[in-house]
Amino acid sequence: MKIGVLNTDKLKPELSLRYGEYPSMFARLLLTVKPDLKLQTYNVVDFQYPKTIDECDAYLITGSKLSVYDEIPWIIELKNFVRKLSTIQKKIVGICFGHQLVAEALGGKTLAADNGWCVGAHKTKLNENAAFYKTPGEEFYLLSNHKDQVSKMAEGATLLASTEACPIAMTSLGDHILTFQGHPEFDKEYAKALLDMRREILGEPVYAAAIKSLEIPTNNSLVSDWIIRFIER
């Protein structure tokens, strides 16, 4: 099985040298579940795309520091590509920016969150639509780092899970799209580095609460398993 990683950001050198770029983070995450998995990176910020859609069995859209509603050429092009993938029901996984972009591309809406930045580890509660993944009502934790969030899901999408700060935290569309607002690819060290970098922007109360939340165990491996199961089904 081969996943095309649609990379939507370039990290600052001091971060990428220590933690790798986002495709490397996803490789570390997913290969622990499926060691024979193949991943191919496409830097869509540089308009790199597969020659044919069938180069990969599924596509994963990473996070980004930008907003999906920015009128930037590469973001517009990525939305067009998502529409093409969805039309033929090619598997798509969206993470953070990817979660938001899928919604925007397919009839939904993403806005700056009224409650500002959502950072740190957050409890996410599954609903009755998420039985394929886990028992409805059960909870899992992922790290978050975002100031935008989906306010309206893609047309025909199903809500699977919510957090207190982010009501639309996990969605699906048919059998071919799965998206998460949280970051299963983030480890605690990288999350802290981002928080330290944005400390002044976040403000001390938000920063301190997020740092404290890093003591909570997260369920990255569980979500990685869900992603693989979703793609393989």
Cα–Cα distances in angstroms (integers) from residue 110 to residues 81, 96, 146, 155, 166, in the given order: 18, 11, 12, 13, 12
- The b/e string for 169-203 (b: 16+ C-beta within 10 A; e otherwise) is bbbbbeebbbbbbbbbbbbbebbbbbbeebeeebe
Closest C-alpha among 20, 9, 112, 113 to residue 61: 9
Give the span between the Cα atoms of 115 and 103, in whole angstroms: 20
DSSP string, 40-93: EEEEGGGT---SSGGGSSEEEE---SS-TTS--HHHHHHHHHHHHHHHTT-EEE
Query: Which residues make beta-bridge pairs with 152?
Result: 109
Residue 195 is given by DSSP the state: H
Q: What is the C-alpha to C-alpha distance for residues 66 and 73, in angstroms, rounded to an integer?
A: 13
Closest CA to 166 of 99, 105, 215: 99
Q: Which residues are catalytic?
A: 96, 183, 185
